[in-house]
Amino acid sequence: MIDLQQELERCQQEADRYRLLAEQSTDLISRHTATSEWIFIDVNPAIEPLLGYRAEEIIGTSGYALFHPEDADNLKNRTDSVRYRDGLYTNVYRYRHKQGHYIWFETTSRTIRDDKGIPVEVICVSRDVTERERALQATRRLAKVVEASSDMILFCQHNNLVLTYLNESAQRTLNNASSSPKRRLPNLFNETQFMEAVIPALNLAAKQGYWHGAISMELDDESERVAELREVIAHRDRNNRHNVDYYTLIGRDVTVRKLAEQQYKRHQNEMAHMSRLLSVGEMATELAHEINQPLATILNYSNGTLRQIEEQQIKEISQTRRALELISKQAHRAAEIIRRIRRFVQRTEIQYAPFDINDCCQEVVTFLNQDARDQQISFQFDLDPASPFAYGDRVQVEQVLLNLLKNSIEAYASHSCSSPSIQIKTFTEGQQVIVSVKDQAGGIKPDIMTQLFEPFMTSKSNGLGMGLSISRSLIESHGGQLWAESDGHKQSCFYFKLPLRNDT
């Protein structure tokens, strides 16, 4: 009898301890009827800070009625928010607060059954996971944005550079480059690019948190796409903020842009070619005269020699040597003029190479010598004695220089000057060579100066106004710059700069 009394006291003490634990718990502990209404039988005091109800208010009421309509049948339908393990159900759902708003609950429940297996009641332990769910929802929204982004987004581990995630855009653009055997960052670049560009980008991101730039990716040979790595973001290890956990890589498919650039270059090349043809057409009379001079000399020496032969004045073959040498020299002169014209007007692909800028200036002047002589204009050279080599397409640079010289010659046609001249100067500045064309033909008015390089801007009655616009685009495509300076009433000077020879 004493043992039974002691056992009852021990059981009571244990029950009191469990009740104390339940009453002190910040989780909501509740008992419900095993019916569809899920009536509250008992709750601990945590219900008031969590749901706003006092225990006496909620006991006897329907727990089912407080579910959000979209979550009320989670358990019945076994939705994705419900998990089952060892007789326990865990459900994540929205539950209505006394004030009318909803909070997110995560509830673990067990059904208590009698000896016959009939459900008697349900015991639940619930906690507020609103902040967690909001964070998860934000993550899901962000994931949808990442997945829908037109930019390529990749996650890359820091230690082994394995790609752990590629969004849809990255998978579509990289195609086979993202397959399992090649799912490592180094496989998206050639070896030189990876070592000289990607590794420094990762190191900078690890140090500063991010990197911005543009590094071309190497796609499969059969791929017609062009892609670039644009940004690297380093994410720190939570346990050690000095270590990088992983990188987010942001790339871009630039196929459309590259195609547009190629098309623009083709159009630019076509426009430049048309401009050269127009320039030669405008100089046709002067060029014909330039060619006619050596041809006339050849004709004179040929006729004189034939006449001497007919009159038997030539006794030995050696007497014709001088005439033949002069004929050969003039023939070479005419051939050289034709060669320059053909090279200037032929349609060719852009060819970047080093060339002597001084030689380029002197050759262009030969095109305009006759036109300049007709107007008694002289050319004055102030060329860099070091003979610097520029880097670019020589034909296009000659086209720009020809256009500037022609403009100066035409400017003198409407401006009287006692001794008209055009100064051509070359000099270097840093890693660039600069060419200037200066005249004293009245300068450029300020209102024209502001529109000088715009397409179709011209002060000529028969001009198209495309020369300077095309010239600027050609120089800028070389990584250079074309500009003008003028005092507005006496002199003007055009400058353009180009990169010096690339020895690397």
Residue 435, domain member (yes or no): yes
Residue 1, domain member (yes or no): no
Residue 468, domain member (yes or no): yes
Say if residue 160 is in the same domain as residue 27: no
- pLDDT band of 453, cuts 50, 70, 90: confident
Residue 249, domain member (yes or no): yes
Say if residue 322 is in the same domain as residue 459: no
CA–CA separation, 204 vs 210, rounded Å?
7
| Average pLDDT for 291-304 | 72
pLDDT in tens, 402-434: 889 888 888 888 777 778 899 999 999 989 999
CA–CA separation, 434 vs 493, rounded Å?
12
pLDDT in tens, 130-147: 999 988 888 788 778 878
For Cα atoms 75, 78, 84, give the angle at the middle one, nearest 5 degrees.
Answer: 85
Domain boundary among 321, 349, 377: 349
Domain boundary among 349, 373, 396: 349
| Mean pLDDT of the residues in the chain | 82
Residue 141, domain member (yes or no): no
Residue 178 pLDDT: 45
DSSP state of 501: P
For Cα atoms 44, 47, 53, give the angle at the middle one, nearest 5 degrees.
Answer: 120
Domains: count for the chain: 4
Give the residue from 129, 124, 79 showing the smallest Cα distance to 102.
129
Q: How many Cβ atoms sit within 10 Å of the Cβ of residue 504?
A: 3
**In 117-243, where do the E strands start and end?**
119-128, 152-157, 163-166, 210-216, 227-236
Say if residue 177 is in the same domain as residue 265: no
CATH number of the domain to which 98 belongs: 3.30.450.20
Residue 309, domain member (yes or no): yes
246 touches 157 (CB < 8 A) = yes
- pLDDT band of 504, cuts 50, 70, 90: very low
Say if residue 108 is in the same domain as residue 167: no
CATH number of the domain to which 408 belongs: 3.30.565.10
Query: Phi and psi (nearest 5°) for 178?
Result: -100, 5
- The two tokens of residue 404 are 């500037």
413 touches 377 (CB < 8 A) = no
| Average pLDDT for 483-496 | 89
> Is the model more confident about 89 or about 471?
89
pLDDT in tens, 167-187: 888 888 887 544 444 578 988
3-state secondary structure of 72: coil
Say if residue 324 is in the same domain as residue 361: no
Residue 429, domain member (yes or no): yes
Say if residue 338 is in the same domain as residue 377: no
Domain boundary among 328, 349, 370: 349
Say if residue 231 is in the same domain as residue 275: no
DSSP state of 431: T
Tell me how many helices (H) and strands (E) the chain has. 15, 18
- The length of the chain in residues reads 504
Q: 333 lies in which domain range?
A: 259-349
Say if residue 499 is in the same domain as residue 358: yes
Residue 143, domain member (yes or no): no
- The two tokens of residue 337 are 């003029």
Say if residue 451 is in the same domain as residue 340: no
Say if residue 248 is in the same domain as residue 359: no
Say if residue 75 is in the same domain as residue 188: no
Say if residue 424 is in the same domain as residue 499: yes
pTM, to two decimals: 0.47
Give the residue from 126, 136, 41 showing the smallest Cα distance to 90.
126
> Is the model more confident about 469 or about 64?
64
